[in-house]
Amino acid sequence: MSIASHESPGGVPAGRSNARVESSAGENGQRRCTDPVLVVESPKNRVLIYEDRVEKHFDKGRGIARKARLEVAALRRLAGIEGVPALLEVSPDGRSVTMSRLVGKPLADCEDVTEQTIVSLQVLVEEILRRGIARHSLPSRDVIVRPDGSAGLVDFERSTHRLFPGDPVWLIARGIMRYHLRRLTYERAPQLLTPAEVRRVRVQVRLRDAAQRPMKIKRRVVRFVRRALTGAT
């Protein structure tokens, strides 16, 4: 599950139509320090957001144990990087992970951002890559714009970890993460890209959309058949 789990109190994670969000407060509307600021639930995960930490519970679903292991391993390898949550605790079964909270607002909820934020994100992504971690995507909901304008990044459950120098799988994953960074830069601060990079992003986006079109059609057909079968019964 990928969510903007470190956003400021009162906000709602962007792009999570299937997630249930609750605000937690004590008696008379006063929030207790031991209560979560937000509770975000999906069919597979439950995230408790406190003032100073985030507890992420990998509850159920195929591959959920592997995602938990990837999240923990990534946070350990990225320890000490400014803009990445610090790993605080892992439950004995490995299904619950506690990390520090990045205070800020998801990029998806920001209408305008400064060049400083995007440049900060570029620096952060390259530092993450130097540590041998590559995310499979870079949705704006997982980019946290911090109070000082710098960028943070959360959710590493879907990531590739470099196993050895020259790891071919890792090299592909690195290229994918850099593509997503260029795409996000193109959307938010295209002036930071060279004309050649702009042309490259446009071509890559068209190719991606063309590759995804058959899958979108397939999902529509599956939904239509399911509705028809349900209506028939």
Domain 20-100: give its CATH code. 3.30.200.20
94-106 pLDDT tens trace = 889 999 999 999 9
* 151 CB-side CA count, 13 A: 28
Domain boundaries, the chain: 20-100, 105-196
With 80 as the cut, is the pLDDT of residue 12 above it? no
Sheet (strand 105-106) strand order: 105-106, 143-145, 151-153
Residues 6+ apart with CB under 8 A from 195: none
Identify the weakest region by mean pLDDT among 14-18, 63-67, 92-96, 98-102. 14-18
Strands (E), the chain: 20-23, 38-41, 45-49, 53-58, 87-90, 96-100, 105-106, 133-135, 143-145, 151-153, 159-161
Its sign, for the CA torsion 198, 204, 207, 211, is negative
Homologous superfamily of 105-196: Transferase(Phosphotransferase) domain 1 (1.10.510.10)
Q: What average pLDDT score do residues 194-216 get?
A: 81
Listed residue (3, 32, 1) closest to 15, CA to CA: 3
152-198 pLDDT tens trace = 999 999 999 999 999 999 999 999 999 999 999 999 999 999 999 89
